[in-house]
Structure formats: structure tokens, C-alpha cells
A and B are shown apart, each in its own frame.
Chain A
Amino acid sequence: MSGNWRKFLVLLGMGAGWLAANLGVGSWAEGLLLEAKLEQRHLHVLVDGELFTTYCFQEDQKYPYFYPVNGPVSGLSVTTESSEPYPHHRSLFFACDKVNGGNYWQEDLLAGQIVSQGPRVIQEHGKQVQFVDECLWNQPGQEPVIRDLRTITISAPGKQLRCIDLLIELHPLVDVTIERNNHSLFAGRMVRELSEHGGGSLVNAQRDRGEKGTFGVPSPWCDYYGERQGVVEGMAIMEHPSNPWFPTPWFTRNYGFFSPTPMYWLPGDRLDLPAEIPVRLAYRVVVHAGDTNSAGIAALYGEYSNLPEGMPIHAMRFQKLLEEALAYQWGQSRRSLLSMEKILKEAHGDENLIAFLERAMIHALSGHASRDIKQFLCHKLSEMGSKKAVPVLSSLLMDMETFDMACFALERIPGKAASDALIHALHDLDDMSKMAVIHALGQRKDVQALPALFSLAHGTSPGEVRASLLALGRFRTEETLDVLMEIEREQVWGLDLEHARLSCACALLDAGLAEEKAGDGLRETLDHSGNAAVRLGSLHCLLRAGHQDALSLFLSFLKQEEETVAASAAGWAGYLRGVEAITSICGCIPVLPPSVARPLVETLGYSQDPRQEWIEREFMESLSHSENEMLAVAAVRALGRIGAGESGVPLAWLATKATPVGEAARESLSSMRHPGTVPLLLGFLKEGDEETQLAMIQILATRGERESVPLLMERTETGPARVQKAASKALASLARQEDLDPLLHLMVSLQDDSIRKGVEDALMTILQGASSREEITGKLLAMMEREKPSVRISFLSLLRRLGGMEALEGIRAELRSKDVALRKAAIQTLAEWEDSSPMEELWVVARKDKEEAHRVLALRGMIKQMGMPSERSHAQSVKWLEEAWKLAERSEEKRSILSLLPRFPCDEAIQLAQKAVRDPQVVKEAKMALETMVFEGEVGFDFQPPGSVLEDGFIEVHMGTLFSENGRYGWDAPCKGERDRKIGSALTRDLLFDASPRTFHVKLSNGLYRVRVYLGDMANFHDQMEVGAQGKIVLQGITLQAGEVKAYDFQVEVLDGMLNITFKDGGGVDQNWTCAGIWIGQ
């Protein structure tokens, strides 16, 4: 053969080969052919003879991975084996970090390594290839923590598509904890040119875009694609719905990284995988030409997941939750149910999602789900289900376990389908269930159910009849009423029938439909029903609707029915208006029992029609004198409501009575708004008798009528005493600024204190509300000046109530008055002053006034004021009391002084009390004062013979000062002796002694004290002296020479109000203990 022929044949062969490759001849119509080639450390997968990808599993790898992953058109890897940033990313890989502290993601192998045990090819060539691998996760030298088994299936479903299916089963060999981390599981890293950075695109199933839109968003897949050298290629990673965290959130980056992983969002920041419990994860990687849409990624996902295309992500989640909950039993955790509820709640407004969710629930109800989950699903369908749910719910009606819930759901799903289902079910159900369905139809008020309900209502089964009657009662159609009216009133269901008729007729009337028929129906019931409540209801309905015979029906009802029934209806008189009605009602009242008449009366008095008003008023006026008190009260109240002026007259008369009727009359007059009321009241106040005036005053005050003030002032001035008092009291609440002057004059003119008090109160109210105190005081004082003494007296009390220095001055000035009465009043006023400012004056008066009565008054006032809070020290206060004591001649004043003493506990007080003990008039009170006085602060006792030199500020205690007599301090028993050595200080020169133990008691308030005892003797030697406090020894072995008196300190806590210090001789040469004194302080 020549050279040219050979060339031609080769070209022909090549052409044929090209055609074969590109025309889809032979087996390419169903996918391309693949081949797996296992080598030492690589497993290559070829598609149609070209390398698609290599599974790399070298010993020094951190983990096995796929590289390259070649695009179907370019033949170049869409992924990168290592690039900045994060060059540790390996193309397409499965790894993890923070697994039991190990790092199987990055860094050196010491931190952790996923070691392939060597893949095994299962299918070497064909439309797909498959191989398995086992990997161990361990740190060098340590036992592996996880063993994973991975099955990889690779196929090429189209010329421009390549698929890698990875199924990986993780077997924790020990308990594994993975801590939250930003290093993922199954991940891809695109080459720079295809990354977002390089101009590529990242999109998820919900069409969120870019790192920004997809990061952290749960989605079933993500696709990363871009253009490189004019060719658009990409890689999608899909997650199977059976994965544990599906739909998993994505960790995505614009430099080409993307991975579905829960690791960054772990609840509680950790994931625990118990030993021996495998975790299955399945992914599909689709390497494709074109973008997401042209490659049909969404449809491919549908095929992979077996989920409908376009299924919303939340529906996928719901589906998963539902599948997990199919065996739910009550008592188990409700978390998955609550999660489903949340998805349902958030689906509002998304019709597409709702449809998916409903479909999922319907599907679950049709299958083998537990009773308890079916109950849950029916509940949800009752809340949001549509007619699509009706078929499955109908089938559930037939199962007793699910009947109730299915019926619930059907009851609330609107539309014909649900009604049909319920109606249809009636044929096949038992009695109890039938009743529930009948009720459901009544609840729905489905008009199309009426024929079925009518038929049931004419039946014979009591349960069915009753249920259908009640159901029919809820309808408001004329036809329904007809049927109800024609049904015979049988004993068993008679009452239900009547209630149904009533409900139906009422509903019609209220809606203004079929009025005549409904009215007739109600009349019939009213006339013939044996049940009082039904008759009541019928009457009410007729009244409400303004039936033409309403009035006569009402009146007959009241007269003929039993009392309690009639009383229930009486209140409905309010529906009847007009002169004729009111006349009839009033005419009827006298023949009715009081319990019925009363509520009737209470409906009257609201009309605006003058004629009606007149009739009512006439009637009420007479009724108000009824012997039946309840009726009279009701009538009086009605009069108050009617409020026409002339009602005032009889009401005013009644208002004088101290009876419930009288009180009602006063109340009515107090609230009556008619313009003639007040003049009427004033008129009665002017001309009425005493009782009338009193009543009028009370009413005017309650009403707050200012125009009554002048008349009230008149009445305060002259009139019966009770009226004067009442009038002055009323003034207190009514007076205003403008009444100041007349009130002052009024006050001045009054002699009786109790009457004047009201006027004073009125003045105080005005004065306090208006100008400053100084201004008013000035004004009063100016007025006072002009007046004669007898009048000035009346100003004093007011000045006292005003208070303040100026007022005080004014009163003080009156002390100098020659008028005895005025002077006395001034002293009295000062004695009652609110603080102790006048105390000195009072003292002067108490000492010097010629009149005994004045002196006593002043003294009393002074004593009282001594007891008021002041800045004085206790000693100063007691000095005052001493002054008072000097002046006190009567036991009353002495007792008052003694009662104040304990407030000022100090030596002076004790001394005064001790002095008082000697006064037989008040010995008891004096002792009481001593006893109740509690020492505060410091106290010192000078132990000495009586009359010896007393240490300054100390209290004398001699050998016979017994606690039992004194009550405040003293010995438990008399000491042996007492001496004054006549050398040393007032404290140290004298002492008490004994050979036996003696305890000195002091009444003290609880607390911690410092005690100082002065032991020793200026004349003698004493040894082994002991001191105890509160039963515990505090000093021991004290030995002192003659001429030594020393102070010893210790701390004592007083817990029971008593300090006890025991002195004892502990032996030795000398047999006595000696003590010169004690000082106690804090």
C-alpha cells in the first residue's frame, strides 16, 4: 500500500472514532462508560477513557481525598488540591476537627490522621464503578477512635455530568465527642477561577447566592460554578435527606470552599457520638458543565433524594421530623412535635409550603403511624387543614381509636367536601359517634346537612333525635323552624326540642328573618311549654324583637307565672316603652307579689318622655309609702332617676326618716340632677322642721352645693342645736375663700364649742387651701385686735390650729390681758400647743399666776410639752421635770411627771425618782419609773457608806443597796461592811467589802459593755480577790497592797437585760474582797 492510502485510512479511522465519540452511537445514549484503575496509592476513575477523578490515599496524607475532579468539558480539575488561602484544603474530602481532642482536618499527622486501609474495587467498569474503603481515625501510637466504612459509586449520567456518590458510615470505637468548630465534614474547594472571588457563583437550593446568602443557611444542596477559558463548569454537593442533620447548614466561603456541616452550629457546642452506634452520611457530588439551571441540579436532586422537585426546605425538615415521630407515644419527649408545630406556624402565608406540609401529614395519617401521632396530626389539620385532608380524615372516622380527632378536624375544615364526608359517615357509625357527627354538622351550620338532620330529627332513636334537634337549633332558616315546629313534643326529647325551637326562632328574629313565623313559634312555646325556663326565654325573645303583643304577653306572664319565674322576667319591662305600656305596668304593680314588683319598679324612671315621666312619678310617689320596705325603697330610687323637680317634695319628706326608705330618699336627692332640685332643698332647709332641716343639710353637703352656704351659716347661728351642729359641719366641706369673712364673724358669734368646731374646720380648710400661713395669721391677729376680750377668745383656737411663731406670739400677748377669761383661754391654748415652744411661758405662769386654776393648767401644759420631741439632753429634760415637780401639788401632775421620767434615763432621773419614792401619793408610780428606766450609755457606781463623798456623775451604792428594793441596781444580799478611809479620791477613799461572794446586779439593755472595777483598799492589804461576770470568772488572784486601789477592765455581753458582777475572795491570807466602785460603759 502506498503512503497516501495509509494516511487516508488512519484519518478515516480517526474520523469514525470522532463520530462515534460525538454522535452518541451505541451505549452513550444511556450514559458513558467508566473504568476504575487501582494503583499503589491512587485509584483512578476514567470516563470514556479520560481521567475524571483520582481517589488519593497516600500514607502521608492527612486523609484520603479526590483529586483531580475534572470538568466534563474542559478536562481540567474544578477543584484545587492546595491553594491560598488555607492551603490545607484538599479538593474534595471528608475530614473533621476536635474529635476527642484530635485534629483530623489540618496540621501535622501527630494531631490525627484518617488512614485508609486500602480501597477495594467492587465494580471495575460499566456505567458506574464502585469501590469501598475502610479508614481508621487515630493519633500515631494510639488506638483509633473511629472506624469509617465508605462506599463510593461514580457514574456519568450524561456527557456533561459526572456523579460521585459517597456513603460513609462512621463507627465510633469509643465514646466520641466532637466540639464545635469551623472545620467541616464533607467539603469541596473550587479552583480560584471558579470561586466567587474569581468571578464564579455559589447558589443553594433556595436560590440564595454567594457566601453571604448561603453561609449558615440549611439547604439540601449547594452548587459552585464559574467560567474558565470560556467554559462554564461547576460542582454541586448534595446531601441525602436521611442524613442526621438534614437539612444541614452550610459553611461557605467566597474563595471556593463549601461544605454541609453542623459543626459550627452544634447545640451545647458539642456533639456526642456514643460508642458502637454508627452514623450514616450520604452525599452526591455532581460535576457539571453549565450553570445550576442548565445542568438541572434541582431535578437531579429530586432524583437523588426521592423528594418532589421544588419541595421547600422547611417541608423537607418537616418530613424528616414526621418520619422520626411516626411511632410517637404520649409521655415521650414532645420536641419533634413542637418543632413541627413551629414549621406549621411559620408557614403562614406560604401556600406552596402549606400544601407540602399538609400532604406530608395526610400521607402519615394514611400509613402506619401511632395513635398518638395521628391525634396530633388531626389536631393540626383541624387548625389549618383543607379539603385535601378530607379523604384520609373520613377513613379515620371509621376507626374508634381515631374517630374523635378525625371528627374534630372535619368539623372545622370548611367546605362541601368535609360536610359530605360527615353526612356520609352517618350511615356507618354507631350511636355515640353518630351523635358527635350530628353535633359537628350543627356546629358547621352547613345548610346542605339540613336534609340529613331533618331526617334524623324525625327518627326514633332518642340520642340521635336529641342531637339533631340541638344541631338544628343552631340554624337560622325558616325551613328549620318549620321542621322543629312540626316535630311532636315527646317526653324524652321534649326539652331539647323546645330549646332548639327557641334557639332557632330567636336567631331568626334577631336577624330580622321570618319574623311572623318565628314570632308564632315563640308564642306557641310560650303558651304550651311545660318548662318555665323555656317560657322565660320565649318571652324574652318576643320582647326583644318588639312583638306586637309584647305588652300583653308580658303582663300576663307576670301575673300567671310562679313568683320566682315572674321575678326573672320583671326586669325586662325596660323593653316596653310608651305611655300605654307604662300605664299598664304601673297598673299591674299593685296586684303582683313584692318580689316581682320590685324588679319591675327598678326598670322605671329612665324615660325622657315627659308624659311617661309624669305617670311614673305619680305612681312612684304613692308607692314610696308602701308598707313593703323593699318596694318603697325601689320606688324612691325610681323617683330619684325620674328626677323631675316635683318628686323632690315627697322625697324631701321621706328623707327625714331614719329608715332604709329615708336613706334611699336622701341618696336620690343627692344625685338628682333636675335644675329645680336645689331650690327645693334650700326651701325645705329654710322652712322645714328640725328633721327636715337635718336631712336637707346632709343632702346639700353630699351634693356639694355651694349656694347653700349662706343659709347654712344662718342655720349655724340660730336654730335647734342639732341643726346648728350639722350646718356647721356641712360648712366645713362647702366653704371657699370668699366665705372667709362671714365665717370669721360667725365663729366669733358662737358660744358652743361643738358648733364652733365645724366653723373652725371650715375656716381651716379655706385658710390651708389659700394664702400663706403668715398672711392669714396676720389677718386674724389684725381682726382680733379690734375685738373685745370675749370675742378674742374665739380666735385663739383657730390660731392654735394654724400654728407658727406669729400665732404663738399673738397668743402669748394675751397672757398679759387683764381679762381673766381671756388669760385663761390663752393659757389653755398654749398648753395645747402642738410643740414645746410655749413651755417657758407656761412655766412662768405655773409659778407666778395668781389663779390656782391657771397655774394648774399651765403646769399640765408644761408637763405635756416636756414629753414632746426636743433637742434637749436627758439631764436638761429632767431638770425641767424637777421644776415641774416642785410646782406640782396634786398627785395627777406628779404622776404625769413620773410617767415621763423613763424617757430620759440618767442619774438625775433616778434621783428624782428616788425622791418621789418617798412621796406616799405616788410611791407606786415612782417605783415603776425606776424600774422601767433603762441605763443607756455609761453609768458609774461609787461603793461607799451613805453620805460619803460621791464621785462626780456616779451613783451611790452602800452595803445595803439591794436590787430587790431598788429594782435598777443593787446587791443580791447586804454586804458585810462599808468604810470611808478618808484618803484618796472620792471614788477610791471609800469601799464595800465582804468575806462571802456577793453579786451586784444592774439592769441594762442588751449589748456589749466595757466594765471597770476598782479593787483594793487605801488602808489594807488584800489577796486572791476574784471577780466574775455573767457567771464566768473574769479576774482571778488579784492581790493588792495597802494604799493600792486599781482599775481592772473587762468586756461583758448582756443578753437578758441584766448585768451580774460577782465579787469573791479566792483564799490566801486575807479573807475579804474589797471594791471601791464600778464603771460601766460601751
Chain B
Amino acid sequence: MSSRQRGISRRSFLRSSAALGTGLVFPAMVPGRVFSKDVPSQHITMGCIGMGRMGQGDLRSFLGFHDLRVLAVCDVDRNRAEDAKRIVDNAYAGRGEQGQGKGCDVYGDYRELLERADIDSVMICTPDHWHALPAIAAARRGMDIFLEKPLTLTVEEGRLLSDTVQLYGRILQVGSQQRSDSRFRFACELVRNGRIGGLEKVLVGVDVDPATGLRPSMPVPEHLDYEFWLGPAPWYPYTEDRVHPEKGYGRPGWLRVRDYGAGMITGWGAHHMDIAHWGAGLDRWGPVTVEGSAEFPRDGIWDVHGPFEIKYTYENGLQIIFADNKKNPQGIQFIGSDGWVRVARGQITAEPQSLLKEVIGPKEIHLYKSQDHKANFLECVRSRRETVASVEVGHRSCSVCLLGDIAIRLGRKLRWDPAQERFMDDDEANRRLSVPMRAPWTLG
């Protein structure tokens, strides 16, 4: 095909670079209008829901982005909400960017925060049982969402959240920040480009939670709206170790209570199984069988799993063994026919070691490159491009862990249909894909 550059020969085009500023003729279909430059970028505004241990950390990170403005914070624990407000106001005061008079707004009810027309996006760092409802509501209000992992408490919630976010064209980033870490990406690229030969097995190792004893019920602290904190979860009398520390931001007990979270199986699993899928090229999919066993606390108020081992098999024959880190080293190890690569936070090893010096060529598979997880979210809010850890990816990474939790609680091998997202021939297992909600909360 000959050049369509009418009126300019190829040679002269090449030689006279200096003269070529605006001399090129536009094809006829496009009027000669010059596009305006971007207006200086306006802030993305954000409301933050869930100002506990992780939420505060994420808030501080987001405050570091000067093209973002946090307008409101929300927590059912008034002390925590106030602390968060102070952090926001101090940050902006320190930059000489005083807000309008009263500074950052404080809410106890996230629904009020979501009503605000001046908020573009939300950050959600609540306990797991409170992930789906605010996120779905935010999506329906046209907001973009940064949601801490694991995506949801149940598979059903995750499916609905993913469908809603996609339907309404929202941008969602799951807090699986390992996808923005070059070590993890490199390890996965090595696998995807066949550097360890054919992938045969993946070993994933994570921490587990301790058990604890019995606790008496206690009076609800005056600063905590406990009823709201429970939300859709079944009612139990209040005791501190089942919720979060009344003072300070130590590790909260709810992490070990099945009504609120599944334990480290999703807490860490959502990170490491996510990477396992990424490296194996199984994003947005799932296993075909899952079986496993676990120890559970013999008493006490905490009831999530202890040491465990789960085996997943996939359609292509791949096996993933997901276990506590006494059985598998913490992190992910991809084992192939010609070697292996193991990656964890801050470390990557391989056999042969020379793999670590490999360069992935331009014609090979390059995975989504993100340098910073929160920056990627903000970029995608502007560009409307999918984030590195999008909602469907987050849903499938979370689901695979939840399937494992179901398997260890039922103690038998289960067959899973990743297309329909149902267990095959097992009504009892399928019932556990959802958890009912206490009135007035509904997953409508």
C-alpha cells in the first residue's frame, strides 16, 4: 500500500523534521480543528469508609497524592473517625491547603457519605462482612472504588459486586498490591513465558491465626455503634476480642471470627492465590476440584481455621497446593518441568538461579505493569482503563480461597464449575456460597 500522505514525499518527510511541525495534512474526514490541551487536572475527590488499622494506613498513602482530595471519612467507631479526620486536616494544613472552614467531614453511616454529589470515589477498608454492601452501593451511585482485599465475605457477594461494577462502568481496584510489585510480576512473567518449562504445580504458603479462650460479654463502648458494626452479620453480645481494640489500632479480633472474615485463608490467600493465578494464566477462572483438611480451635470465641492444607486441580491438570506456612514456605512457588521460581514479599529465588537475570523480550508476554497500586487506581480513574487488580480478578482470587474454606469445613472433595460458579451435585456446599443477612440489610 502506498503512503497516504498526499503531497509529501517520503524522503522529504524524513529529512525536514524541523519544518514538519504542523505541515502534515489531516485526512479529510477530520476537520482541521486542533484539540484543546487538557485543563490543569482537577482533583479526584474521595470518601474513606473504615478507618481502622488498615484504613488509616491506606488513608495516609492516599493523602500523599496531590491530585487527590479526601473530603470525608466514615467509621462506626467515633474515635476512629475523629482520628482520621485529624489526619486529613493536618495533612492538608501542612501543605497549606486548608479546606473550607470545617475541614474533612465525618460520618458514622456510610450511606450518608455516598449521597454526596461532590465525591468521585471511595476507599473501603471495613471488616470483610462490610465490603460488599458499601461497594455495591457506591457503584450504583457512579463512584469508583478502592476496596481492600479480600473482595468479599462470600462468593455470591463477589459475583454480584463484580457484575454491578462492570455494569455501571466503574473503576475498582482491589488492595492486592502485590500486582504492583515488580518481583511478583517478574516471577509471573518468567512462568508465563515458559522459562521454567511447563508449569506443573504451584505451592502457596500463608500464616494462620491463633485460637483463643472464652470471653465474657462486655458493655458496648460508648463510642462504638455496635449494632451498625455488626450490620448484616448475626447478632452476638459485644466482647472486645470479637471486634477491635477499644483503644489503639492493634490487630483486631474480628479477623478470627467466621461471621466477619474467613481467616488467613482469604487474608493472605487473597494475595498469594491471586499471584498463583496470575502466573498460571488463570485469572478470571477457577479450579474444577477442591479438597482439604484443617484444624479448628477446640473452644473459645475465635472460630476461623488453623493449620490447613488444600489441593486445587484445574482443567488443564495444574495443581495448586495451598497450605499454612509450616507446610509450604510463605509465598508462592511455581514449579515447572525445567525449574522453579519462588516469590514472596521482598524476595525472589529461582532454580536455576540464572532465571533471575532473564530479560523478557518485546515479543513475549508482558503482564500489566503498575508501579504503584494506588497510583494505578488514580490513573485508571482518569483514563477509565481497567486497573491491575480489577473487580473480576479480585472476585476470582477471593472465591478460590472461599472454596477452600468450604472444602475444609465440609471435609470432603468438592467439584466446582468455574463457568457457572456453583458446586456440582452438592447442595450443602452450594448453600455456603452465600450467607444470609440480618434485616434491614439486604444484598439486593
Q: Which residues of A contact B (CB under 8 A)?
A: 330-335, 338, 345-346, 348, 375, 379, 382-384, 404-405, 407-408, 411-412, 414, 432-433, 435-436, 439-440, 442-443, 463, 467, 470-471, 473-474, 495-496, 499, 502, 506, 532-534, 536-537, 540-541, 564-565, 567-572, 583, 586-587, 590, 594-595, 597-599, 602, 618-619, 621-623, 625-631, 644-646, 649-650, 652-653, 656, 670-671, 673, 684, 687-689, 691-692, 702-704
CB pair B439–A433 under 8 Å, yes or no, is: yes
- Report whether A537 and B442 are in contact in the complex, using a CB–CB cutoff of 8 Å: no
A-B contact pairs, 9 of them (CB 8 A): A331-B216, A348-B412, A433-B439, A435-B439, A595-B382, A597-B35, A599-B383, A687-B15, A692-B17
Pair A590/B35 contact, Cβ less than 8 Å? yes
B26 at the interface (CB under 8 A from A): yes
CA separation between A656 and B436, bound complex, in Å? 61
How far, in angstroms, from A602 to B11 measured CA to CA in the complex? 31
Segment of B2-10, B53-61, B66-74 engaged in the interface with chain A: B2-10
Chain A residues with CB under 8 A of B382: 595
User: Chain B contacts of A687 at CB under 8 A?
Assistant: 11, 14-15
Contact present for B442 and A572 (CB under 8 Å)? no
Partner of A404, one of B234, B300, B383, B428: B234
Partner of A570, one of B13, B384, B442: B384
Contact B22 A590 (CB under 8 A): no
Pair B37/A629 contact, Cβ less than 8 Å: yes
**When the two chains form their complex, are residues B4 and A646 in contact, meaning their CB atoms are under 8 A apart?**
yes
The answer to whether A334 and B217 touch (CB under 8 A), given A345-B410, A618-B4, A691-B17, is: no
- Known contacts A331-B217, A537-B168, A467 near B442 by CB under 8 Å: yes
Q: Would you list the 3 A-B pairs with minimal beta carbon distance, nearest first?
A: A470-B444, A436-B439, A408-B436
- For the complex, what is the distance from the CA of A623 to the CA of B30, rounded to whole Å? 9
**Which residues of chain A are within 8 angstroms of B33 by Cβ–Cβ distance?**
590
Residue ID in chain B nearest A570 by CB atoms: B384
The answer to whether A568 and B384 have CB atoms under 8 Å apart is yes
- Kindly identify, within residues 125 to 172 of chain B, every residue whose CB is under 8 Å from any CB belonging to chain A: 139-142, 166-170
Q: How far is the CA of A565 from the CA of B4 in the complex (A)?
A: 36
A670 vs B363: C-alpha distance in the bound complex, in angstroms?
A: 9
CA distance A471 to B24 in the complex (A): 59
Partner of B13, one of A564, A565, A653, A702: A653
In the bound complex, residues from chain B placing their C-beta under 8 Å from that of A618 are 4, 27, 29
Residues on A with beta carbons closer than 8 Å to the beta carbon of B14: 652-653, 684, 687-689, 692
**Chain B stretch 358-391: residues in CB contact (< 8 A) with chain A:** 361-363, 382-385
A335 x B299 contact (CB < 8 A): yes
Residue numbers in A under 8 Å from B111 (CB-CB): none
Candidates B215, B236, B383, B440; contact of A432 at CB < 8 Å: B440
Pick the residue among A474, A506, A565, A704 that contacts B444 (CB under 8 A): A474
Among residues 403 to 444 in chain B, which have CB atoms less than 8 Å away from a CB atom of chain A?
Answer: 409-412, 427-428, 431-432, 434, 436-440, 442-444
Cβ–Cβ < 8 Å partners of B363 in chain A? 671, 673, 703-704
Query: Which residues of chain A are near B303, meaning CB under 8 Å?
Result: 334
Instruction: Please tell me if the beta carbons of B436 and A536 are within 8 angstroms of each other in the complex.
Output: no
A649 and B3 contact, CB distance less than 8 A:
yes
Contact check: which of B38, B385, B412 meets A599 at CB < 8 Å? B385
Q: Which residues of A contact B26 (CB under 8 A)?
A: 622, 625
Bound together, the chains give a CA A383 to CA B430 distance in angstroms of 9
Which residues of B sit under 8 angstroms from A330, Cβ to Cβ? 217, 236-237
Bound Cα distance A443, B412 (Å): 27
Q: What is the predominant secondary structure among interface residues of chain B facing chain A?
A: loop
Contact assessment for A404 and B235 in the assembled complex, using a CB-CB cutoff below 8 Å: yes
Q: Say whether, besides A625-B24, A688-B14, A439 and B167 are in contact (CB < 8 Å).
A: no
User: A564 vs B384: C-alpha distance in the bound complex, in angstroms?
Assistant: 10
Cβ–Cβ < 8 Å partners of B217 in chain A: 330-331
Whether B250 sits at the interface, judged by CB under 8 Å, is: no
- In this assembly, does B347 line the interface, its C-beta being within 8 Å of a C-beta of chain A? no
B interface residues, tally (CB under 8 Å): 72
Smallest CB gap from A348: residue in B: B412
Q: Report yes or no: B436 in contact with A332, Cβ–Cβ below 8 A.
A: no
Q: Do B27 and A621 have beta carbons less than 8 Å apart?
A: yes
Whether B298 contacts A568 by the Cβ 8 Å rule is no
Q: How far is the CB of A470 from chain B (nearest CB, A)?
A: 3
With A330-B217, A622-B27 known as contacts, the answer to whether A439 contacts B427 (CB < 8 A) is no
Cβ-neighbour of A384 out of B38, B169, B412, B428 (below 8 A): B428
B411 touches A345 (CB 8 A): yes
Q: Identify 7 new A-B residue pairs, CB closer than 8 A, beyond the known A435-B439, A496-B444, A506-B167.
A: A345-B411, A408-B436, A435-B442, A439-B444, A502-B167, A630-B38, A653-B13
Expressed in whole angstroms, the Cα–Cα distance for A569 and B142 within the complex equals 11
Nearest A residue (CB) for B236: A330
Q: Which of the listed residues B167, B239, B298 has the most CB atoms from chain A within 10 Å of its own CB? A: B167
For residue B120, CB closer than 8 A to chain A, the reply is yes
| Secondary structure dominating the interface of A | helix
CB distance from B277 to the nearest CB of A (A): 24
State whether A598 touches B383 (Cβ < 8 A): yes
Contact A628 B384 (CB under 8 A): no
The closest CB in chain A to the CB of B385 belongs to: A602
**Chain A minimum-CB-distance residue to B140:** A533
What CA separation (Å) do A382 and B427 show in the bound complex? 11
B-chain residues with CB within 8 Å of residue A384 when the two chains form the complex: 428, 431
Q: How far is the CA of A268 from the CA of B285 in the complex (A)?
A: 47
A622 B444 Cβ-Cβ under 8 A:
no
Alpha-carbon separation in the docked complex, A384 to B29 (Å): 66
Specify the chain B residue showing the minimal Cβ separation from A411. B436
Chain B residues near A541 (CB, 8 Å)? 167
Report A-chain residues with C-beta under 8 Å of the C-beta of B438.
404, 436
Chain A residues near B3 (CB-CB < 8 A): 646, 649
Expressed in whole angstroms, the minimum distance between the Cβ of A550 and any Cβ of chain B is 15
B409, A569: Cβ atoms closer than 8 Å: no
Do the beta carbons of A412 and B444 come within 8 Å of each other? no
The CA of A556 and the CA of B298, in the complex, are separated in Å by 62
Is A540 within 8 A of B169, CB to CB?
Answer: yes
Is A627 a contact of B13 with CB atoms below 8 Å? no
B318 at the interface (CB under 8 A from A): no
Complex CA–CA separation, A14 to B296 (angstroms): 73
Smallest beta-carbon distance A140→chain B, Å = 43
B100 contacts chain A at the CB level, 8 A cutoff: no
**Assembly CA distance A631 to B30 (angstroms):** 15
Contact yes or no, A382 B22, CB < 8 A: no
Cβ of B15: which chain A residues have Cβ within 8 Å of it?
687-689
Binary CB contact string for chain B from 10 to 50 against chain A (1 if under 8 A, 0 otherwise): 11011101001010101101110111111000000000000
Q: Which chain B positions have C-beta within 8 A of A534?
A: 140
> B30 to chain A: which residues have CB within 8 Å?
586, 590, 619, 622-623
Q: Is B142 in contact with A536, judged by CB distance below 8 angstroms?
A: yes
List, in ascending order, chain B residues with CB within 8 A of A432's CB: 439-440
**Which residue, of B15, B170, B362, has the highest number of chain A Cβ atoms within 10 A?**
B362
Among A331, A583, A630, the residue within 8 A (CB) of B237 is A331
Q: Is the CB of A594 within 8 A of B38?
A: yes
How far apart sit A238 and B291, CA to CA, in the bound complex (Å)?
A: 40
Chain A positions within 8 Å of B27 at CB level: 618-619, 621-622
Q: Within the assembled complex, what's the spacing in Å between the Cα atoms of A474 and B164?
A: 13
Task: Report the nearest B residue to A602, measured CB to CB.
Answer: B385
Query: A569, A621, A622: which contacts B169 (Cβ < 8 A)?
Result: A569
Q: Write out the residue numbers on chain B whose beta carbons fall within 8 Å of the beta carbon of A332.
A: 214
A433 to B442: give the CA distance in the assembly, Å.
Answer: 12
CB distance from B99 to the nearest CB of A (A): 22
Q: Which of B189-217 contact A (CB under 8 A)?
A: 214-217
> Within the complex, which residue of B214, B431, B440 is in contact with A435, where a contact is CB–CB below 8 Å?
B440
User: B residues within 8 A CB of A533?
Assistant: 139-142, 168
- Measured between beta carbons, the chain A residues less than 8 angstroms from B436 are 382, 407-408, 411-412, 440, 443
Tell me if A335 and B298 are in contact (CB < 8 A).
Answer: yes
B383 to chain A: closest CB distance in Å?
6
Q: In the complex, which residue of chain A has the Cβ closest to the Cβ of B437?
A: A439
**CA A626 to CA B167, docked complex, whole Å:** 32
Q: Distance (Å) between the CB of A406 and the closest chain B CB?
A: 11
Residues of B within 8 A of A540 (CB): 166-169
